[in-house]
Structure 1
C-alpha cells in the first residue's frame, strides 16, 4: 500500500459552518456584497443574519420581500459565506422595552413560515443553522404578545420550522426546558426524530449561574438542564454569544480561560459572536492567553494522521483506501460533506475527482481519532500514468461542491519534503502519495 503520515498545525484555520461570527447588519436587507466580501476576507465563515418582519406582522409577506431574501442568500453564496438566519418581528433597543415588544398571531406566523419554506429549501446550501425566531422579543421565545410560548403554539411553530428545512438541516431554540418538554431524553444522532434536528443557541453563554435566564434558578433543575444541553450537543449544534450579566439575579460571569475551555468542550461549542460581550469575556481570554485556543477549537477541527491506498489500479477498476483522522475540535461537523480523492496527472496536470461515498465526515466525533476504510473506483477511460493523490472535503450541496471556499482545509502543516500541503486552487490537501493508473 502507498502510505503517508501527516503533521498537525496549531494555526487558526477558517473553515465553513464554525468559528467566530459577525452580524450581517441589523436587518439582512441592509447587508451589501461589499460587506459580505470584507467579512470573508477578515476570516469569518458564518454570519448571523436577523431578518426583520415587523411591517408584515399583520399581513402576508409580499413577493418583493421574498425576492430580497433570495438575493441576500445569493450575496452569501457569492462571498463564500454561510448564514445563521433568525426571523423576528421586533428588536427592542433596551433592556426594559422588550416587555412591550409585539410579535404576530399564531396563524400569521405559520402563514409566514409557509411562504418562507420554498426560500429556505432553495437556499439551504448557504444556511449553516436556522435559529427559531418569530416568537417574542428579539425572536428569543419569551414575552410573546400573542401567547406564542404556550405549549400548543410553540409546538406548532417548531413543527412548521422543521418542515420548512431540508431533513439534513438543523433548527436551534433558545430555551432548554422547551426541548426537554418535547423529548425527556437527549435524542440519538440522526435517529429520524424532530428532536435530533434541534439544538440550542445560548445567547448569554457563561454570563451567570443561570446564563441570565437560560437555565432555571433552582440548582437541581438547572443541573438537569445543563446536562441535557451538554448531551444534546453531541447530536445537534450548540452556539450563541456571551452577554452582559447585569440583569441576572446573581451576576457572576464565568469569564476566565478555565471556564471557556471547560464549557466550550462540555457543550460542544460550534460558533460564538465575536463582538459581544467582549469586555468580560473575549478581552479576558486574550489577556489570559487562551483566545487563540478558543478560535481553533470551536466546532470541528480535522487533522489528517495517516493515509494508505492501493499503489496501482487499472482504469475502470477499484482500489482500497484507509484514512486515519483526528477531530481535535469541540464538536462534530453537522451538515453533509463529501470525501473526494483527487488524482492529478504528473505530466498533463489533468485532475480526476473520485467520490468516496462510504465515508461521512459527520461521523468523526470530537476528541477522537477515527479510521475509515473504503473502496474507490478509478473511472473507465482515465489516462494511464502516475498521479499525485490529494484529499478534498467539499460541501455536500451540489451547488457548492465545486466552490473551493466551502471545502474544509485540514489542520495539517505544509511539508515540502513530503510533498504535502494545501492546494488552494483545488481546495484539497496534497498527501504526498502516488497512484499509478494502469
Structure 2
C-alpha cells in the first residue's frame, strides 16, 4: 500500500497552490515550544463514558474533562434488541449521551454492541443479532449519527461478535458477504467527513481501498499476534502490520492494550522502547488509559516514558514562525505566512479551520478571518508545513491597532464558537513576547499587531 494516498495528496496540492506573496511592510515573530502534555480534541488517552452510554451522567463527563481527557469511549448496549427494532426511548438515550459530551467539551468514540462477555476468555458463547436486524438497527441509528457527528471523533464498527470486535459471531456475520453489507451500511450511516474503524486488518485488506476506514487494535502490543489481531504466520503478519502502518497515514489508528490471558506463553511488548517505536510506526492517535495498566501503563510510568507517550499521540502542532502584513485597509487584502511543525505521531483527521483572530486594542472587538485554503489535516507527523495566504479584512471594519491571534476551531458549525474544541498549539507562553494561550477565545496570542486603516 502506498505511503501517501489521494486525500493527503489533494491537501498538499491545495497548500502548494497559494497565491504569490504581496509586496508591502511585514511584521514577524518566532515561537518557543513546550513539552507539556497539551489536552486537545480527538486525540490522546481516553476513558470510558460508562459501561453503557445511557448510564453516563453530566457530572461524570464534566469530571473527565476537568481531569484532562478529551476523548471518551462510549459503548452502546443493544443486548435487549437483538430480536427487535430499537425503541424511540433508546434512540433518545443515545442522543442524550452525545448531548452530555457536547456540554462537557468532549468527543466520543461510540461502539454499538449486543454483548459484553466478562473476562478475557468468556467470549465463545457471546450472542449478536441476525444480519437483517443489524442492518435495520444501523438504518435506525443513521439520523442520530448525522445529528451528532460534531461530537463523534471516530466510530468503531461494533455490532458483530463478542464485544463488537468482529470475531466469534453467533450469526455468521463475519462471513465475507455479511461483512461487506455491514461495512457499506455503516459507511452510509456515518457522515462522509467521519471515519469508521475496524478491528481486524485482514478484513480491510480483502476489500477495495477506502480512505474512510482505519483500525482499532484492542490488544495492542499484547503478544506476537496482538492476541489474534494479526496472523500466526510470520510472513503474513508482516504484510498485515505493514498495511496497518501505511493506512495510518490516511485513517486514524487507535488502541487499547489487553491481558493476553488466552494465549500460550505470550510475549508482550511492554517496555518504553516498544510503545515509543510502535506508537510512531502505527501513528497512534488514541489509547485506553484504564486497561491493561498492570502490564503496560504502570511499566511505562516506571521506566519514565509515559509523559512522552501522552504528548506524542495524535497530532501535536507547534507554531514556528509567523509573518503578516503590518497595515491593511478595511476591505483590503493582506498577506500571511505561517510555518508549523507537527511533533505528534499522526495527523489530524477531522475537518478543522484555521483563523486569523484580530482583537481591537481600543474597544476589544474581535474579528475572525478564516484562512480557508489552509487545512491542518495536511500537517503531516514529524514534518514542517508552510502556508502563504492572502486574507481580506471586511469592509467597514473600524480602523485601529489589533492584536493578532491564531485559532484552530472545530470544523463543525455547532462547535466552532466553543473554545474548548479549539486546538491549543504546543507553544510556551512568553510574557516578554506577549505570546500565550487565550482560554476565552481558544486562540494563541502571537505578540504581533495589525493596523487597520
TM-score range, shorter chain: over 0.9
Alignment partners' CA distance in 2, 1:108 and 1:250: 39
Per-residue CA deviations over 1:65-110 (Å, capped at 9, x if unaligned) read: 1111111100000000000000000011123331111100000000
Mapped contact 1:131–1:173 kept (Cα < 8 A): yes
The answer to whether structure 1 residue 285 and structure 2 residue 300 are counterparts is yes
2:98 to 70, 73, 76: 73
Residue of structure 2 aligned with 1:137, choices 162, 175, 193: 162
2:311 aligned with 1:296:
yes
- What residue in structure 2 maps to residue 404 of structure 1? 419
* SS of residue in 2 equivalent to 1:283: helix
**Aligned partner of residue 73 in structure 2, secondary structure:** strand
3-state DSSP of counterpart to 1:417:
helix
Segment drifting more, 43-52 vs 239-248: 239-248
Q: What is the aligned counterpart of 1:128 among 140, 153, 161? A: 153
Q: C-alpha deviations, 1:344-403, integer Å up to 9, x for none?
A: 111111111101100000000000000011111101110001100000000000000000
| 2:192 counterpart of 1:177 | no
1:348 aligns with 2:363: yes
CA distance in 1, matches of 2:146, 2:86: 17
Preserved CA contact (<8 Å) 2:337 2:386: yes
The separation in 1 between residues aligned to 2:369 and 2:379, in whole angstroms, is 20
**Alignment partners' CA distance in 1, 2:392 and 2:334:** 6
SS in 2 for 1:264: helix
Question: Would you say the 8 A contact 2:121–2:261 is kept in 1?
Answer: no
RMSD (CA atoms): 0.7
In structure 2, stretches of 5+ residues that fail to align are 1-25
Structure 1 residue corresponding to 2:291, chosen from 263, 269, 276: 276
Q: Which residue of 2 aligns with 1:151?
A: 176
Residue by residue, what CA displacement relative to the aligned partner does 1:110-167 show, whole Å, maximum 9, x if unpaired? 0000000000010000000000000001000001010000000000000000111111
Runs of 4+ in 1 over 2 A off after TM superposition: 94-97
Residues of 2 paired with 1:204 and 1:95: CA distance? 11
Task: Tell me which of 192, 206, 215 is aligned to 1:167.
Answer: 192
Is residue 213–residue 248 contact of structure 1 (8 Å, CA) maintained in 2?
no
Which residue in the other structure is 1:395 paired with? 410
Q: Report how far residue 272 of structure 1 moved.
A: 0.2
- Return the match for 2:56 from 31, 38, 49: 31
Say which SS state the counterpart of residue 429 (structure 1) adopts.
strand
Corresponding position: 1:117 with 2:142: yes
For residues 261 and 118 of structure 2, the distance between their equivalents in structure 1, rounded to whole angstroms, comes to 16
1:321 & 1:166 partners in 2: Cα distance? Answer: 33
User: Where in structure 2 are the equivalents of 1:222-301 lying within 5 Å?
Assistant: 222-301=237-316
Q: Does 2:101 match 1:83?
A: no
Matched, 1:197 2:222: no
What is the CA-CA distance between 1:404 and the residue it aligns to?
0.3
**2:120–2:259 contact (8 Å) kept in structure 1:** no
Cα 1:96–1:287 shift into 2, 3 Å: closer
> Is the 1:4–1:307 Cα contact (8 Å) retained in structure 2?
yes
Aligned length: 428
Q: Which residue of 2 aligns with 1:335?
A: 350
Does the CA contact (< 8 Å) of 2:111 and 2:156 recur in 1? yes
**Counterpart secondary structure, 1:99:** coil
